[in-house]
Structure 1
Amino acid sequence: MHRRRRTALVLSAAIAAAAPLLTACGSDAHPGAAAVVGGQRITVAQLEGRVNEVRRAQQAAVPDESQYQQVLASTSSLTRDTLHNMVLDRVLHRAARDEGVTVSRKELQLMRTSLEQQAGGAKALETAWLQRYGVAPQRLDDNLQVQLEAQKLAQKLGTDTSTPAFWKVLSTASTELRVDLNPRYGSWDVEKSGRVDAKTPWVREVTASGTQQQTT
């Protein structure tokens, strides 16, 4: 009998590129808000601050101006991607809370330590998350907490993050939170809860090579 191999959940910011496909109505009732989730505003200033964090980290990592321009071109949807993920974080937090799922500081540290070992150090992990998923170094722990919540929520449901059962719970949380996006950033589909691009799902399981463990 085999145990499941250790996996790490990763965040793909690319999903938000599909945001124009979302169908729910946005509203102008919240001036200055990029989105309203559960009655709490995500302000345009907060969104821009998150985007600027990523841009500063990208520029520091790629000091050559021509290369940085290539990075800008390849991440032109960063603002929409970032908002999409900020909303999804809150949806997942709500779904996890409703199911009694929590993440301890120890669990978070263990996950980060494991990923750092796989990546070749703390700096290498930060660089990988920045380049692949648009996560600024100072937001890495927040991102890993979301991944752990998703993993533990799926385990609590007896499923994994790719199944309809998992996304149905997120859909319920989206409905409860009454997600409302500023129309300039698209709109929100509570039924799909962000699951709009089958090729680049928001959360997916990956197994790092060289760290796969399988026991009998």
Structure 2
Amino acid sequence: MVAGHSLGEFSALVASGVLSFEDGLKLVRERAFAMQEACELSHGTMAAILGLDDKKIELICKTTPGIVVTANYNCPGQLVISGEKKSIENACENLIEVGARRAVILPVGGAFHSPLMETAKERLSKAIKNTKFLKPNCPVYQNVNGNGIIDPELIKKNLVAQLTSPVLWTQTVQKMIFDGAKQFIEVGPGKVLQGLVKKIDRSVEVHQGI
């Protein structure tokens, strides 16, 4: 089984044989251009919220005027929100008032994984439609629902939906563990995902891949 966080989902698709390395690069490029175009049409940002229950964050997002949504469920006590700049600033103030340990505006170029990325869907969808997707050699646990997927057509739909949907990383890792995962290997130079996995479930092993 494989999974990738946000953009990392494309790496997971290459690793599982769904995409060739070359096609993976092409889709990542198209996704980047599509999202940049969406960023230029809006004034959005993101913020990391630390030390507060997910339900409380979701409630503040719903009750704050403007566009504010949950974007990344990274691990218990660490969630990222996304939306219009002013609305994010207001939400951060409200979240501190209800008990968040920190609410930090992130240095990003836009409101990723939010409705402000809606215009990026058409370009990415077209690129995906023109790309060959094979059946994976193992389940690909996708961000939009945390489930292990083997149907190439559903994988395509989920990739497009991911642009405006939250990254359910906590739920994804929990589902992988429920389905039998006991060791997680992070492929790449960093250790961020290893840290998140251990915060989600300390009983599993984490390792650095080559």
User: TM-score normalised to the size of structure 2?
Assistant: 0.29
Name the structure where strand makes up a greater proportion of residues. 2
* Greater RCO, 1 or 2 (C-alpha within 8 Å, sep 6+): 1
